[in-house]
Amino acid sequence: MDQNDRYQLRQVLKKEELLTLATRIKDNFPNSLQRQGMSLYCTEEEMPLLIKVLKGSQLSSMIKDTPVNIVFLLSYQVDPVLETLQGLLQKPLVTIRNVIYAYVTQQNHVLRCPAGMKVQRLGRAGVQKMLADNKYWKTLPLDLTCRLAENLPALGVYLDPDDADGKVVDPSDLTFAEPEATPIACVCTNPYGSVSMVMTDDKYKRRGLATLLVEILGRLHMVEGYFPHANVLSDNDASAGMFEGLTGWEKILLAHRLFSEQ
């Protein structure tokens, strides 16, 4: 990793645990979704071997007519992989920097939803609103995303006029919202397993709803065997500020995404 990158890569799962997790979740990811992105992992010393494999593989023919989307690269991988793929594919590629935050210390303080509101897993209308309002996942099919939300936690804050005091939230006992119910704030687990689509309606911002949902989602991920983490664009000051203020979450490294312009 570059000396300019101030974060240290750390092992969070052993190889055997990663294989077990991959086996456990693979049925939740249809083949069409699996091909939408990839990650390339290797040590700095293994980079020449990775480039040799890329040049000698069928990758260029597989992705020649489809968008390139490499969702995770470490700093020492970016320039060699970018140069190699641009040479193979003969089309421009773009990189963006992400700061990775991880929920590394599980918290046990009580989580409470504001009065007049409740936290539930997203129903169909909630998933539809999330896809419509977010910036990056608009091409995901609604039915596919609804199926993913049944298995990978996707949460929303919903209005609850009958509650005058504010409920304590038990992350392990969340019901699904009614299919037609629309949330005022939401968060989901994206297809790559990270916290994503953190959104709050303008009318309800600055009430701590996004923070509440991310805290709940982090606990759910940890309990259900996922690695709780989030990719935040390096210039997204609002999201970075939220994660910096969350107890239990830490900034762990810089990563890059490489993709072809649409």
Contact between 75 and 257 under an 8 Å Cβ cutoff? The reply is: no
| Mean pLDDT computed over every residue of the chain | 82
The predicted model scores a pTM of 0.74
Domains and CATH numbers, the chain: 15-99 (no CATH), 111-251 (3.40.630.30)
Q: Work out the pLDDT band at 4, boundaries 50, 70, 90.
A: very low
Mean pLDDT of the region 64-91: 84
Q: Highest-confidence range of 20-24, 60-64, 230-234, by mean pLDDT?
A: 230-234
Residue 51 backbone dihedrals phi, psi, to 5 degrees: -65, -40
d(CA 66, CA 82): 16
Residue 169 has pLDDT above 50, yes or no: yes
Contact between 90 and 84 under an 8 Å Cβ cutoff? The reply is: no
The two structure tokens encoding residue 217? 């989602």
Residue 34 has pLDDT above 50, yes or no: no
Q: Work out the pLDDT band at 59, boundaries 50, 70, 90.
A: low
Q: Work out the pLDDT band at 30, boundaries 50, 70, 90.
A: very low
Strand-pair partners of 121:
155, 176
Q: Work out the pLDDT band at 121, boundaries 50, 70, 90.
A: very high
The two structure tokens encoding residue 103? 């929920």
d(CA 66, CA 50): 21
Model pLDDT, residue 104: 84
Q: What is the pLDDT of residues 171-207, one digit of tens each?
A: 888 999 999 999 999 999 987 788 988 999 999 999 9
Contact between 233 and 78 under an 8 Å Cβ cutoff? The reply is: no
Residue 12 has pLDDT above 90, yes or no: no
Model pLDDT, residue 35: 44
Residue with the larger pLDDT of the pair 58 and 259: 259
Residue 134 has pLDDT above 70, yes or no: yes
Of 18-22, 53-57, 137-141, 203-207, give the lowest mean pLDDT range: 18-22
